[in-house]
């Protein structure tokens, strides 16, 4: 299971606010903050989506999708295991 993001949400929001208000370029600000320019771009894009300013999956929707995919993977694995159990073994277990 992945650990928490290396940069807290508040840090990311503040970094995007600085990007939009400071007039600094993405690479310059990213260097000052100690993150990659691509991370800063991703945070800005995701914040736009979360605020309804851009199309895409919100952070909550992304988290739900991750959770549902994980759940589906678990259920699929359980189903495959149950397929391998012989029917006679199930009947014997229920009978006895």
Instruction: Find the CATH number of the domain harbouring 8.
Output: 1.10.10.10
- Structural domain boundaries enclosing 74: 69-96
Cα 81–chain centre separation? 28
Q: Does residue 82 carry a pLDDT above 90?
A: no
Same structural domain for residues 79 and 43? no
Same structural domain for residues 47 and 89? no
Same structural domain for residues 3 and 46? yes
45, part of any domain: yes
Residue 40 contacts residue 49 (beta carbons within 8 Å): no
Same structural domain for residues 38 and 73? no
12, part of any domain: yes
- Band of pLDDT at residue 1, cut at 50, 70 and 90: very low
For the segment 4-57, what is each residue's pLDDT rounded down to a tens digit?
568 999 999 999 999 999 999 999 999 999 999 999 999 999 999 998 898 998
Q: What are phi and psi of 61, to 5 degrees?
A: -65, -40
């Amino acid at each position: 299971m992945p650990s928490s993001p290396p940069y807290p949400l508040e840090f990311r929001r503040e970094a995007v606010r600085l990007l939009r208000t400071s007039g600094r370029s993405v690479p310059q600000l990213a260097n000052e903050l100690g993150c990659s320019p691509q991370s800063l771009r991703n945070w800005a894009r995701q914040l736009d989506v979360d605020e309804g300013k851009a199309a895409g999956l919100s952070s909550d929707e992304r988290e739900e999708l991750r959770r549902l995919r994980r759940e589906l993977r678990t259920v699929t694995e359980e189903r495959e295991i149950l397929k391998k159990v012989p029917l006679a073994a199930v009947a014997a277990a229920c009978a006895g």
